[in-house]
């Protein structure tokens, strides 16, 4: 199945639109140059469970990917730990506040799936400015993260109706 519409520019807005159209129950929340995608059908929880973010600018403690370059944005995906290990090997240690993980990646490289420079220790990955074909390749990882968010949501809401 083709997710991306041929000829459509790859922008954060287009990616958010596709994810929200393809995966039900998503609530996007934008703040500080980042849009977080939460699974939260009917807005049952105050925020929901996030599984994917799109970020357009550096943060105070998040500059390793140089997101302040013109047109550069990050898609970050919360992977299953086993998927993270399959793709990248062992998870790195949690970095010190303001630091980045120790990993042999150029966190500024475009269109390359790699560990997230700060949250890799939590099984998060990133890709900067994915092409349409690369977005097609990573969409199954976004779907997997979405399924993981559904499970977490169900655990959080399991006893709400009792």
Residue 6 belongs to some domain of the structure = no
Nearest to 153 by CA among 20, 16, 26, 17: 26
pLDDT band of 51, cuts 50, 70, 90: very high
Q: What is the pLDDT of residues 53-90, one digit of tens each?
A: 999 999 888 889 999 999 999 999 999 999 999 999 99
Instruction: Supply the range of the domain harboring residue 18.
Output: 12-157
Nearest to 91 by CA among 113, 119, 64: 119
Domain count, the chain: 1
Residues facing residue 49 across a β-bridge? 39
pLDDT band of 23, cuts 50, 70, 90: very high
Query: How high is the pLDDT of residue 159?
Result: 76
The pTM assigned to this predicted structure is: 0.93
- How many residues in total does the chain contain? 162
| CATH number reported for the structural domain that contains residue 153 in this entry | 3.90.1150
Residue 24 belongs to some domain of the structure = yes
Residue 16 belongs to some domain of the structure = yes
Query: How high is the pLDDT of residue 161?
Result: 57
Residue 5 belongs to some domain of the structure = no
């Amino acid at each position: 199945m083709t997710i991306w519409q041929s000829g459509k520019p790859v922008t954060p807005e287009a990616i958010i639109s596709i994810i929200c159209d393809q995966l039900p129950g998503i609530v996007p929340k934008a703040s500080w140059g980042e849009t977080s995608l939460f699974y939260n059908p009917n807005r049952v929880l105050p925020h929901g469970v996030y599984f994917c973010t799109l970020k357009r600018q550096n943060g105070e403690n998040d500059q390793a990917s140089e997101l302040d370059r013109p047109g550069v944005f990050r898609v970050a995906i919360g992977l299953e730990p086993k998927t993270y290990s399959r793709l990248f090997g062992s998870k790195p240690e949690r970095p010190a506040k303001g630091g980045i993980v120790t990993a042999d990646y150029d966190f500024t490289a475009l269109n390359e799936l790699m560990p997230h420079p700060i949250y890799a220790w939590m099984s998060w990955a990133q890709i900067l400015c994915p092409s349409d074909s690369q977005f097609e390749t990573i969409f199954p990882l976004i779907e997997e993260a979405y399924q993981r968010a559904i499970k977490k949501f169900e655990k959080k809401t399991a006893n709400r109706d009792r």
